[in-house]
């Protein structure tokens, strides 16, 4: 965990120890500055789950994406889970870049992170296996074609990116007939 609540040291440490024992996993608690130094110098060891406070994670997410070449923040979404046992199973998907309120109504917002989040919801919660792979394949086609919004150096509007993505998606029905409307709740 990349967060330590100084006001709750005793309670927080006891909570961490109890969870570690209950689930049989090693949980280590570090100050954010220590995690920053270690992540930037060494990266994450395999099979590591990083849990962090929202403010620190928002900043470090961008730094780590940039450092390890994993795409731009504007294109990524996150899967947030609640750690409280009473909320077990509650999941939230959100764009990493925020709401872009200054671009509302201008057809300039990069839709890629929202599209990825929607694919995760469709696959994990709406019974649409393969949604993530299909969207990623379509996004790869868009990248090859240079279809992107101005924030990523492109010249395409939000609507054009979404339209191109829908064109790139394989949404054929069992009879092989293309069914674009299936993606928006049509027959």
Q: How do residues 106-118 score in pLDDT, each as one tens digit?
A: 998 889 989 999 9
Confidence (pLDDT) at 70: 64
Q: Tell me the mean pLDDT in the region 11-25.
A: 85
Task: Indicate the average pLDDT of the chain.
Answer: 79
pTM of the model: 0.66
For residue 39, the model assigns a pLDDT of: 79
**Banded model confidence at residue 104, pLDDT cuts 50, 70, 90:** confident
Question: How far is 87 from 90, CA to CA, in rounded Å?
Answer: 6
More confident position, 59 or 183 = 59
136-156 pLDDT, tens digit each: 999 999 999 999 999 888 999
Going by pLDDT thresholds of 50, 70 and 90, the confidence category of residue 134 is: very high
Q: Is 172 helix (H, G, I), strand (E, B) or coil?
A: strand
| Distance from chain centroid for Cα 95 | 6
Percent of the chain with pLDDT over 70: 78
User: pLDDT-derived band of residue 187, with 50, 70 and 90 as boundaries?
Assistant: very low
pLDDT band at residue 123, thresholds of 50, 70 and 90?
A: very high
Supply the DSSP string of 98-147, one letter for each residue.
---GGGTTTT----HHHHHHHHHHHHHHSS-TTHHHHHHHHHHHHHHHT-
The whole-number pLDDT of residue 186 equals 38
59 SS3 class: helix
């Amino acid at each position: 965990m990349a967060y330590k609540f100084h006001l709750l040291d005793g309670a927080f440490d006891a909570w961490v120890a109890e969870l570690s024992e209950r689930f049989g996993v090693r949980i280590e608690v570090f100050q954010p500055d220590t995690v920053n130094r270690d992540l930037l110098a060494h990266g994450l060891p395999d099979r590591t789950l990083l849990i962090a406070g929202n403010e620190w994670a928002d900043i470090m997410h961008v730094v780590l994406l940039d450092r390890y070449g994993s795409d731009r923040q504007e294109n990524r979404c996150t899967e947030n889970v609640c750690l409280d046992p009473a909320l077990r199973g509650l999941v939230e998907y959100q764009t990493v870049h925020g709401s872009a309120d200054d671009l509302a109504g201008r057809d300039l917002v990069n839709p890629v992170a929202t599209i990825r989040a929607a694919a995760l919801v469709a696959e994990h919660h709406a019974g649409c296996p393969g949604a993530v792979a299909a969207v990623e394949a379509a996004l790869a086609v868009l990248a090859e074609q240079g279809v992107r919004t101005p924030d990523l150096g492109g010249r395409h509007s939000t609507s054009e990116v979404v339209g191109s993505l829908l064109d790139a998606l394989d949404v054929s029905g069992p009879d092989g007939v293309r069914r674009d409307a299936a993606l928006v709740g049509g027959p």
